[in-house]
Structure 1
Amino acid sequence: MEGETVETAEEQLAKQHRKEKKDMQAKIQSMKNAVPKNDKKKRKQLTEEIAKLEADLSQKHEEEFRQLKSTADSKLDEVLNGVETMKMEDGEQEDVKQPRVTKAQKRRDKKAAQEKERESRIAEAEVQNLQGVRHQEGLMLAEKLTQQQLQIKEISSDGHCMYRAVEDQLAQRSKPGLIMSVKELRSRTAEHMRGHADDFLPFLTNPNTGDMYTTDEFEKYCSDVEHTASWGGQLELRALTQVLRLPIEVIQANSATIKIGEEFASEPITLVYMRHAYGLGEHYNSVERLKDPVNAEDS
């Protein structure tokens, strides 16, 4: 009957969503396996693609459940009571009772209905959990930044986020000689790393052999830093502190603030590191002065 079709569709959708999530994880793993572990450029760029895939799937699942629930609610009570009304050709309606079912069948039906509801709650909870992790991270960061009268300034997520955040911090200072574009920041970072290989090579190893990078591997790494959208991390930040002669601090939600270049006495460049900003993707933002300070709420 039609009611059974609606019930089955809802149960199958919950199971389908779980399967799609498993398939997505398998696809993500396959994507990671397809990229050599020592290819820093491609592995960092892969982060953006994975984040978008996961976000799109979560949004799709949430919308599908919302649509199905709106159409199923009106039929669910009739299905569970075992009664359905059917329209006759002349427009009249009559009650149609289900055939008598055994107690064992009723128990099986009840168990199936409970399982369907459990699957639905699990799938919805998984969607909400992803949003919840991001939300909690944002709250913790906002609390830390407010103590310094700061707030997050959003930076685009395109593989250049760390350099764009540094670029923004320098622009806020408005000091001659400190304004640098992303391209220049990348070039200067790579140049410094090449000129001080002994400071960086010990931290770069071939994931397949565990050996320190060869000269050619290190040059390729520096070339990626300079010419591609390879994602920047602590090694690049360390190089930037030397290039800019400025300390850099990185504020995180669940960890202590990372401070690099403390040998320089100037006011530090402040970045925000977000682990859950884009699903599986890691991201850097800049900061700016708090526009609505807490102490101004009562004024």
Structure 2
Amino acid sequence: MADASEAPETLETLQARHRKEQRDLVSRITQKKKQASKKTRKGVNDECERLEQELKERQARELATFNGENPHEEPALEEEQDIAEVEEGQVNGVAMAVENLTIDSGREQKHTTEQNGPKKKKNRAKERLARRAAEHDALVAQAKEEAANMPDLREQERTRMEQHFGKYGVEVKEIRADGHCLYAAVADQMETRGLGLKPRIQVKTQEEAKLPDYKRVRYAAADLIESHPDDFAGFMEEPLDVYLQKIRETGEWGGHMELMALARSYGVNINVLHSDGHVDKIEPGDDVKDEDDKEIWLGYYRHSHGLGEHYNSLRNVS
């Protein structure tokens, strides 16, 4: 139940909210279309059209409710009411004309009334629909204009990342944004740097050779955590077995804890470059660290992919 002390929404605040919703939708649609591939473009376009239509219909209903109208009333019913009013006006007009007839001018006046009839009333239902459509179009135009003037965070982040690549002698290898990006990026680093994917602690599965590379990395992280539960339990918000099942068998995102486990499992230093130039250094620990200081590089992105946080592989410049 809404707070009784909360002020009701005014027309100005309603329109402001609608404009913000339009800006947000335009921004979402822009990002979706930028990220669409040839295979997914049609589906993305269909989804964008659906989102636009749903927002348009909802905002029209809210505006109708604010104006004291019934948002669920069918326009056809309103038109029938208008037609009935017109017909009633026609009857009343004829009656008035009859009352004004005189003996001398009766025929002429009756003929005039039948020819001209009462003035047809405007279709108020169509006018309301046209007004709503115009208001919606104005909101969309304003939202698009404001979205066009918003900073492109994705492009800014990519530009800043590229400015740091030369310092570390790396270049980006784009990893698919599908929930497995951290593991796929680590797999790409281990293979391209000639380190291999065999962990210090062997994975549990009996079909290791048949697993895709990112899956082998998932198992390596899960097995290390499972064998050292006391080192990781404090970071978990759910039972250990549930967490491990998500790592091994789902597309659950990986984060800092999984990177810690992988650094120890593979005995490598993991460097994570951020767009501000900061580098997170995750070390395996002295008990498993190799003398040759093996290392891999990942790039961490917050704005460049629709799913949210993302990791790319940063390969050595050949």
TM normalised by structure 2 equals: 0.51
Q: Name 1:282's counterpart in structure 2.
A: 309
| CA shift in 2, pair 1:174/1:290, >3 Å | closer
> Which residue of 220, 223, 226 maps to 1:194?
226
May I ask how many residue pairs the two structures share in their alignment?
A: 191
| CA shift in 2, pair 1:117/1:254, >3 Å | farther
Post-superposition CA distance 1:35-75 (Å, at most 9, x none): xxxxxxxxxxxxxxxx8599759x959xx9xxxxxxxxxxx
CA contact (8 A) 1:54 1:279 kept: no
Q: Name 1:141's counterpart in structure 2.
A: 161
Moved more, 139-148 or 278-287: 278-287
CA contact (8 A) 2:157 2:275 kept: yes
What one-letter code is carried by the residue in structure 2 that aligns with 1:135?
A: E
Q: Name 1:88's counterpart in structure 2.
A: none
| CA shift in 2, pair 1:128/1:267, >3 Å | farther
Report 1 or 2 for greater relative contact order, CA contacts < 8 Å, sequence distance ≥ 6. Answer: 1
| CA shift in 2, pair 1:60/1:15, >3 Å | farther
CA contact (8 A) 1:52 1:278 kept: no
| CA shift in 2, pair 1:246/1:144, >3 Å | same
Q: Aligned runs of 1:190-229 on 2, under 5 Å?
A: 190-205=222-237, 213=238, 217-229=239-251
Which protein has the bigger strand share?
1
CA contact (8 A) 1:237 1:248 kept: yes
| CA shift in 2, pair 1:21/1:172, >3 Å | same
CA contact (8 A) 1:15 1:119 kept: no
CA contact (8 A) 2:155 2:304 kept: no
What one-letter code is carried by the residue in structure 1 that aligns with 2:178?
A: D
Post-superposition CA distance 1:257-278 (Å, at most 9, x none): 1111164352311000100011
Write the distance in 2 (CA, Å) between the matches of 1:129 and 1:17.
14
| CA shift in 2, pair 1:24/1:125, >3 Å | closer
CA RMSD of aligned residues (A): 3.9
Q: Which runs of 5+ in 1 are unaligned?
A: 1-13, 29-50, 65-115, 206-212, 292-299
| CA shift in 2, pair 1:227/1:119, >3 Å | closer
| CA shift in 2, pair 1:198/1:52, >3 Å | farther
What is the Cα deviation at residue 119 of structure 1?
7.3
CA contact (8 A) 1:253 1:274 kept: yes
What one-letter code is carried by the residue in structure 1 that aligns with 2:167?
A: Q
> Which residue of 189, 194, 199 maps to 1:174?
194
Write the distance in 2 (CA, Å) between the matches of 1:161 and 1:269.
15
Q: Aligned runs of 1:1-299 on 2, under 5 Å?
A: 18-20=20-22, 52=32, 120=141, 122-127=143-148, 129=150, 132-175=152-195, 178=198, 181-205=213-237, 213=238, 217-254=239-276, 256-261=278-283, 263=285, 264=289, 266-279=293-306, 281-290=308-317
TM normalised by structure 1 equals: 0.54
What is the Cα deviation at residue 149 of structure 1?
2.0
Q: Secondary structure at the match of 1:281?
A: coil
